[in-house]
Structure 1
Amino acid sequence: MRPYLLAENNWKAIKDTDIDLAILPWGATEAHNYHLPYGTDIIEADHIAAAAAKIAFESGARIIVLPTIPFGVNTGQSDIKLDINLNPSTQLAILNDIIAVLNRQGIFKLLILNSHGGNDFKALLRELGLRYPKMFLSTCNWFQALPKAEYFEAKGDHADEMETSLIMHLCPHLVLPLNEAGDGHEKKQRIKAFSEGWVWAERKWSMISADTGTGNPKAATAEKGSKYFEAVTKKLASLLLELSRIDNNDLYE
């Protein structure tokens, strides 16, 4: 039993435990090129949350990791078989119910550990922050915590070299040989402003990628995944420790 993971705990252990911060990993269920499992985002969220929480817990953080939400926003992949979509309004309802429990029980800090690029919780947390003024609500994308170029050769953001390396490290039995993977070529918007980053439109996945990947995975290795995993979990652990210790009424300096 790992005391910082709610799913592995029991009522005897939990009922008298003081908790300062809850962590909610949130993934997605979707195709990841030909070679990675549909649960890639969930696997990453589970392992990264657990490893970071272990470091923070052993440093004195009073935290609890909630079970990972396995479905995310996949509105741009509606024609990709069994890519499961939760609308943002559904996410809002789920978050409201979870935050209501935490707020009622005196756990006034929540961090959403996001593991899926299609999830965007900022607007939701703005609305929920008005409903629950005692709560300190935050969200982070673990995949943006470190400069990927320092660890990987090829750019990409889905089933790319980074994600492939991570899953090769975490669950190698779920990765097909890389000679069976697509090259992850992504078609770009014809309108220049979109590539400049100041205009946005949702990507229609079946139009931009033949294999559902964006980013060439062929240079991926388990060794790269191990190095990146260790670095990202250490950085996340520092955040968990700071969040657990901060006073909700003294956030700024």
Structure 2
Amino acid sequence: MELAQLNLQDIKKQHFDLVILPWGAIEAHNLHLPYGTDNYQNGVIIKQAAQIATDKGARVLVLPEIPYGVNTGQTDIPYVINMLPETQKTILRDIATSVFKQCDKLLIFNGHGGNDFKTMIRELGLLFPNKKLMTCNWFQALDAEKYFSQPGDHADETETSLMLYLYPELVRPLNEAGNGQNKQFKVHALNQSWAWAEREWTKISNDTGVGNPSKATAEKGERYFNDLCQVISQFLVDLASASLDDFYGY
């Protein structure tokens, strides 16, 4: 169920075991995808996955999406909206304070690679004992290489295929897209998973893309979307049914 569509009578009749907060971003996505790509994808994926979970008996509630994310590496791109992590933490604290009066589990459903909620969850966890604040990145739930020939990590074949399936009217012709060619760090370790530095997007890419979208199709997007929703829905079912008094095992 979506909170924004419910009324007080509906709410009083319901008990939810898991509340979900979708969180996206507003940023450039190459030359062919809209600034709201992360929000469009995030919203449809979680609503579909939550519906499947509900059909399986899970009692889950989806909150309205937070549409702005961390874009500190793209502030020189026109109208990219940046929300600082400290602002995110304040918003998250206020939402958690409201949610935890009714439900003891809150999942941040993240659709933007620049968002990182782990340290916030560590800090806020001290304020909410006996509650569980969690996060997940849908774009890491499946191995994209099993679905796409040239997966990247931004406005690539994956995201373009999803948008061609979900919102084809918002996708410009692929012959107008940039090729998503991008520069990597000259310090090799920074291109690996164990070291990290923020990318300055106008220095690494001419079109803000990371990955070639030219082979994207709606058919690929549909297959990926359906499998993704199945995996995520089972995750929601498992979370909703999990007891915080018996959350760990061997």
Q: In the alignment, which residue of structure 1 is the partner of 2:230? A: 234
Cα deviation per residue 1:74-128 (whole Å; 9 max; x = unaligned)? 0000101111001000000000000000112x20101111000000000000001
Q: In the alignment, which residue of structure 1 is the partner of 2:93? A: 96
The one-letter amino acid of 2:149's match is: E
- What does 1:115-194 align with in structure 2 at a 5 Å threshold? 115-194=111-190
Alpha-carbon shift at residue 249 of structure 1 (Å)? 1.4
Question: Match of 1:162, SS?
Answer: helix
Residue 85 (structure 1) aligned to one of 73, 82, 107: 82
Q: In the alignment, which residue of structure 2 is the partner of 1:35? A: 32
User: Is residue 21 of structure 2 the alignment partner of residue 9 of structure 1?
Assistant: no
Moved over 2 A (4+): none
Give me the whole-angstrom Cα distance separating, in 1, the residues matched to 2:238 and 2:97: 23
Give me the whole-angstrom Cα distance separating, in 2, the residues matched to 1:144 and 1:117: 10
- The count of corresponding residues between Structure 1 and Structure 2 is 249
Residue 245 (structure 1) aligned to one of 235, 241, 248: 241
The one-letter amino acid of 2:90's match is: A
Alpha-carbon shift at residue 193 of structure 1 (Å)? 1.0
Alpha-carbon shift at residue 48 of structure 1 (Å)? 0.3
Alpha-carbon shift at residue 16 of structure 1 (Å)? 2.4
Alpha-carbon shift at residue 198 of structure 1 (Å)? 1.6
Q: In the alignment, which residue of structure 1 is the partner of 2:209? A: 213
Give me the whole-angstrom Cα distance separating, in 1, the residues matched to 2:233 and 2:179: 33
Give me the whole-angstrom Cα distance separating, in 1, the residues matched to 2:245 and 2:201: 43
The one-letter amino acid of 1:66's match is: L
Question: Match of 1:168, SS?
Answer: helix
Give me the whole-angstrom Cα distance separating, in 1, the residues matched to 2:152 and 2:124: 32
The RMSD of aligned alpha carbons is 0.7
TM-score by length of 2: 0.98
Q: Which runs of 5+ in 2 are unaligned?
A: none
Alpha-carbon shift at residue 7 of structure 1 (Å)? 1.6
User: Is residue 25 of structure 2 the alignment partner of residue 48 of structure 1?
Assistant: no
Give me the whole-angstrom Cα distance separating, in 2, the residues matched to 1:191 and 1:174: 37
TM-score by length of 1: 0.97
The one-letter amino acid of 2:116's match is: D
Q: Which runs of 5+ in 1 are unaligned?
A: none
> 1:61, 1:244 within 8 Å by CA — same for their partners in 2?
yes
Residue 20 (structure 1) aligned to one of 8, 12, 17: 17
Alpha-carbon shift at residue 14 of structure 1 (Å)? 1.2
Give me the whole-angstrom Cα distance separating, in 1, the residues matched to 2:221 and 2:59: 29
Alpha-carbon shift at residue 178 of structure 1 (Å)? 0.2
Identity %: 53
Question: Match of 1:126, SS?
Answer: helix
Question: Match of 1:96, SS?
Answer: helix
> 1:103, 1:134 within 8 Å by CA — same for their partners in 2?
no
Cα deviation per residue 1:193-236 (whole Å; 9 max; x = unaligned)? 11232211000010000001100000000000000000001000
Alpha-carbon shift at residue 12 of structure 1 (Å)? 1.6
